[in-house]
Amino acid sequence: MAMNPDLRKERQTASFDTELLTNILDGGADRTRRRRELEALVLNDPDFKHEDVNFLSRSERYELAIKKSALMVMKLREFGIADPDEIYWFKSFVHHGRPEPLDLHLGMFLPTLLTQATQEQQDRFFMPAWNLEIIGTYAQTEMGHGTHLRGLETTATYDPATQEFIINSPTVTSIKWWPGGLGKTSNHAIVLAQLHTQGQNHGLHAFIVPIRQLGTHEPLPGITVGDIGPKFGYDEMDNGYLKMDNFRIPRENMLMKFAKVEPDGTYVKPLSDKLTYGTMVFIRSIIVGDAARSLARACTIAIRYSAVRHQSELKPGEPEPQILDYQTQQYRLFPLLAAAYAFHFVGAYMKDTYRRITADINDGDLREMPELHALSAGLKAFSSWIANAGIEECRMACGGHGYSRCSGLPDIYVNFTPSCTYEGENTVMMLQTARFLIKSYTQVSSGQLVSGMVSYLNDLPGQRIQPQQVGARPATLHINNPASLVEAYKLRASRLVEFAAKNLQAELNRRRSKEDAWNRTSVDLVRASEAHCHYGVVKLFTAKISEIGDPATRAVVNNLCLLFALHGISKHSGDFLQGGILTDAQITQVNQRVKELLALIRPNAVALVDSFDFSDLFLGSVLGRYDGNVYENMFEWSKKSPLNKTQVHRSFHKHLKPMQAKL
């Protein structure tokens, strides 16, 4: 079929080369080439039949995912793909970005073995797990506790007589609940449990627990395991439950790279309790990347469809305009497109920072760990909240057809939304970031300098150290200069951190306990964390612009960065006014400039989503097809509905006809 004329015109009139921007997003032309090679391996492989999962039952979707995962593992070996990024790409192409039953085996079980197991344990477990004789999951969350890890109830009690740990689920609420791949796929789990030895509880530790018989896959005696049932999405994933009744494992199955239990039961504590933060930081950086990708997919669908869809009249008697020409549609979609770009660059920055700092940690240098932990927690929450709301906004911007599963948008939403909860519930994550901000504020108040992303606190007026005294308001706000907007966001963050810190102190002065004061200030603390993260994202997005060599590409990314920053000021104008950072007149100017930027971005909107370089198969959307032939394909798609297998459904003869005969 020919290309839709509207989309052809949009692509011809773009002011920049999409290929150059794709290379920037991928981190270089070589990486773009390699990513496409891997995608072609999947697309051109007859073994990967690409069924439309929308017409399958949950059991069929799970089985298809298992089939593809098993094939995927074989192909990874066959093609010699071993680089973590390349495995991630290949896996995404095979499963079209959907969750799959081996996610936790590949994403949590294997990495935890690598980072927390001793050499002896790696020799024993890693190769069998790499070869999938052992299929593992990560069993942390329980029915009664998730993010609050200290509340977990599963126990691991050491028995020196047999040199075994007795793993037990003492209550209904202690049953492990939610781990992906636990229900039907895994035969081992890394179980987090409270370690008891010599009459003392030493807190949470990780244990390798076999749960199913190798070969037969039957649950082991003392193990109750199964699937938790249908969920909002994640139909391919067998999220499971696990109940352990005084189940014994050898002492050597406790992950002992950092903490140890000696044969006689003596507990040897780790050098630092922050060493296991690494895995969390890594996973959270991946979630920021996922937020960028999921929001980018939703924007691609909504923006292409908005260029194809014609509706209503701008002027009587004239042809119906593309809905992308309506300013209200641009205002809904372009700030989200800008956020997708922002989060992409932030995710890449976090991954690089993680790699850099991991090298320091291995050398015993933990100085940057607290900041990285706080930043990753906050950015995980900030990006997933915005992406989650943004995906739904994109669905609604597609009108009625956005509600059809053929749009691909319901699927993107239900599969992304759990990331607001897993790996740390977002509000709790923001409060973790706030702890670090308050600690930093307290340090500055007592005359110390702080470094890194919180160094703006050194400039607070009224602090003893004032290396560069900052007035209440930036002398002039340059509305077209991202660096000037970074300053405005920095002031907003420092004001809100100071506001929360002073409110916290006021609660403490009322003789409240530390915990009570914290709870009574928590709304202010979350706002301070959000402002800190917002500043971080604007700062990192702005820094990226100067790295872009090609002037045409730099200009279009600069407009996105300005829109992201100015739209944020417009949405949070109260903070900027109340903090004395911007005047009334400046806010009016900001709102006007946002509308001007929408018009500037409009001619490049389709090219900007094309630069994400999603194949039609990966996008999985009739509305977002590259060729724009939406309506013909929507009709073809609907014919595949199982309800259309017969002209007359059996319910007609069974229920409707007898009723008609009686009435």
Q: Which residues contact 305 (CB under 8 A, 6 or more apart)?
A: 398, 401, 407, 623, 624, 630
Q: Which residues contact 286 (CB under 8 A, 6 or more apart)?
A: 107, 347, 351
Whether the CB-CB separation of 541 and 561 falls below 8 Å is answered with: yes
Measured CA to CA, the distance from residue 212 to residue 220 in angstroms comes to 5
**Catalytic one among 153, 423, 487, 507?**
423
Using the 8-state DSSP alphabet, how is residue 54 labeled?
G
Measured CA to CA, the distance from residue 294 to residue 391 in angstroms comes to 8
Measured CA to CA, the distance from residue 227 to residue 186 in angstroms comes to 11
CA 635 to chain centre: 34
Measured CA to CA, the distance from residue 204 to residue 301 in angstroms comes to 44
Whether the CB-CB separation of 580 and 473 falls below 8 Å is answered with: yes
Where are any strands of DSSP class E within 351-435?
Answer: none
Using the 8-state DSSP alphabet, how is residue 402 labeled?
G
Measured CA to CA, the distance from residue 85 to residue 101 in angstroms comes to 19
Residue 277, both tokens: 């933060």
Q: How far is CA 375 from CA 282, 291, 353, 529, 532, in A?
A: 12, 16, 11, 9, 9
Q: How far is CA 367 from CA 286, 351, 373, 435, in A?
A: 23, 18, 11, 17
Measured CA to CA, the distance from residue 286 to residue 376 in angstroms comes to 10
The alpha-helical segments, DSSP class H, found in 510-629 are: 514-520, 522-545, 551-571, 573-578, 584-601, 605-610, 616-619
Measured CA to CA, the distance from residue 226 to residue 248 in angstroms comes to 20
Phi and psi based region of residue 247 (left: phi greater than 0; alpha: psi -120 to 50; beta: remaining): beta
100 is catalytic: no
Q: Which residues contact 33 (CB under 8 A, 6 or more apart)?
A: none
In the chain, how long is the greatest CA-to-CA distance?
90
Residues with catalytic function = 423
